[in-house]
Amino acid sequence: MMARLSLKAAISAALLASLSGCATSDKAAVPSWKPDTTYNLTILHTNDHHGRFWNNKYGEYGMAARKTLIDRLRADAEKQGSAVLLLSGGDINTGVPESDLQDAEPDFKGMTQIGYDAMALGNHEFDNPLSVLEKQMNWADFPMLSANIYDKKTGKRKFQAYEIFERNGLKIAVIGLTTEDTAKLGNPEFISGLDFRDPKAEAAKVIAELKENEKPDVVIAATHMGHYVDGQRGINAPGDVALARYLPEGDLDMVVGGHSQEPVCMEGRNLLKKGFKPGDECQPDNQNGTWIVQAYEWGKYVGKADFTFRNGELNLVSYDLIPVNLKKKVKINGEKKRVFIQEEIPQDPSLKAFLQPYQEKGQGELSKKIAETDGKLEGDRHVVRFQQTNLGRMIAAAHKERAKADFAVMNSGGVRDSIEGGDVTYKDVLTVQPFGNMVTYTDMSGKEVLDYLNVVATKPVDSGAYAQFYGISMVVEGDKVSDVKIGGNALDLDKTYRFTVPSYNAAGGDGYPKLNKHPGNVNTGFVDAEVLKEFSRKIARLM
């Protein structure tokens, strides 16, 4: 009986007990479940929403259709007497201008209307000043959890660590955890006062606390740490697999994850299912008795895990990743068309009506002046692929500044248009950079930099590979560079330099050396157009 009380109530009950001289301890709490009774539990989940409150131009995903789907799943589950929790693995912020320009207000309010119960704080929740995050916490009527972020000044947890849910006679604890990499991925201006501690150790602490005080029947971690197959995490901070293996078996029932932005569907033990397609069956990962799930990104899927709970044992009955109006390309009468993979999910009319003004306002914002220029910023392909131009170098300068790098490399194929003299809008910026590539940076030695430049700086003109540079100068002759100067100083082969390159090229695009496996490479997650927009807005007069 005691276990059904909230912590506060339990403490006051204990106080009463001691006042009345009763010797009963509140620590003798018993589980809330009844023996030989089967409880059903359904966990619905999404992650890495990244500003996708509206459907894309093909009518895929979007929160209005997501709501219809979740309402249906919830109704079905409740009809079968199942308790339902809807969780998010975080990263609601950053990725779509219409959302970014409004501090993700439609996204957090939309999540509230859909009925999310809790979310993990992701690294992109720290792209904005903490005052924005505070505002977002008010827009959300569900807790945004993280147990491992501490305030450097007070030495205390900065955010709510966990939430307890009592549903249909089951007591479920949800703990929030955030990748330690937030320390290097978040905007340094805003996170200098925060300490991102080891989420594995913090999880162990919280679980010990919960066992003592709350005695939950089920413990779930909503995490934003990434799923790395067999714990092979490369240069990333430890993810969900490491977490599950670190904790004693039986301490953590489930991880609802995010950050690596993939469908976590396994083919065998520590073997990811290759080529997962919407509508395919999905078997989540299991490590050390902990189920690990993740629903790709952007609300493309809603994950659904059905459990039974009996005599203290939780068993997964079924799991599904349900596509939200995803399409595939087919040929109909020789013409390529996009068709729904599964039956179309209608958009929830009230949520759509609620979101519509935000979409319109966001698009209106795109047409507002952010800067001005006296002359043309040159991005015509017949120029930018042949020589250094003011616009090509400005984009590189914007990347250099955002990543606090020593120099920047920008492929001219990523510069898609010019900006004419006069007022400059975000729409102009998006015309120049429509692909949504992200800024990556790499720390490497001067020796490695020289090898890299010998490939990249010698790419032929009249190709998208021809590079625009900022913060660096050199002489290019044939297939060799010489007289390299970075920030005006001669290249030191033993020094470590940081430089940026778009994610497309870091992945080997344009025949650039692959950097995304280099130990010093970091994808900042910042989208190129947003970076150029902010850079332009700060300078105001571009030339």
Task: Return the active site residues.
Answer: 48, 50, 91, 123-124, 127, 224, 259, 261, 381, 385, 416
Nearer to Zn ion, 95 or 471 (CB): 95
91 binds Zn ion (CB under 5 A): yes
Report the DSSP pairing between strands 266-268 and 327-332. unpaired
List CB contacts of 173: < 8 A, sequence separation 6 or more.
Answer: 162, 163, 164, 165, 210, 214, 216, 218, 219, 220
CB of 28 to Zn ion, least distance (A): 42
The residue (of 91 and 348) whose beta carbon lies closer to Zn ion is: 91
Q: Is 417 helix (H, G, I), strand (E, B) or coil?
A: coil
In the complex, least distance from residue 182 CB atom to Zn ion, rounded to whole angstroms: 8
CB of 112 to Zn ion, least distance (A): 22
CA distance 405 to 442: 9
Residue whose CB is less far from Zn ion, 42 or 261 = 261
Give 123 or 505: the residue with its C-beta nearer to Zn ion.
123
Q: 51 or 392, CB closer to Zn ion?
A: 51
What is the 3-class SS of 499-540, one letter each residue?
A: EEEEHHHHCCHHHCCCCCCCCCEEEEEEEHHHHHHHHHHHHC
Beta-carbon contacts of 355 under 8 Å, excluding residues fewer than 6 positions away, are 53, 54, 63, 64, 106, 110
Phi-psi region of 340 (alpha: psi -120 to 50; beta: other; left: phi over 0): beta
Binding string, residues 221-260; x marks residues near Zn ion by CB under 5 A: --------------------------------------x-
Instruction: Determine, following the binding rule CB under 5 A, whether residue 50 of this chain makes contact with Zn ion.
Output: no
Residue 304 binds to Zn ion (criterion: CB under 5 A): no
Tokens at 471, concatenated = 């913060």
**Six token digits for residue 228:** 């790395």
- Interaction with Zn ion in 110-149: which residues (CB under 5 A)? 122-123
The distance of closest approach from Cβ of residue 426 to Zn ion in the complex, given in angstroms and rounded to an integer, is 24
Residues 119, 144: contact at Cβ < 8 Å?
yes
Instruction: Please say whether the beta carbons of 409 and 505 come within 8 A.
Output: yes
Total binding residues toward Zn ion, as defined by CB under 5 A:
4
CA atoms within 13 A of residue 423's CA, in its CB half-sphere: 8
Task: Identify any residues that bridge with 120 across adjacent strands, giving them in sequence order.
Answer: 145
Secondary structure in 3-state letters for 356-369: HHHHHHHHHHHCCE
- Closer to Zn ion at the Cβ: 126 or 307? 126
Distance of alpha carbon 45 from alpha carbon 32, whole angstroms: 25
Report which residue's Cβ sits closest to Zn ion.
259
Q: Which is nearer to Zn ion, 126 or 426 (CB)?
A: 126
Task: Classify strands 218-224 and 170-178 as parallel, antiparallel or unpaired.
Answer: parallel
Nearest approach, Cβ of residue 123 and Zn ion (Å): 5
- Shortest Å distance, C-beta 48 to Zn ion: 6
* Contacting residues toward Zn ion, per CB under 5 A: 91, 122-123, 259
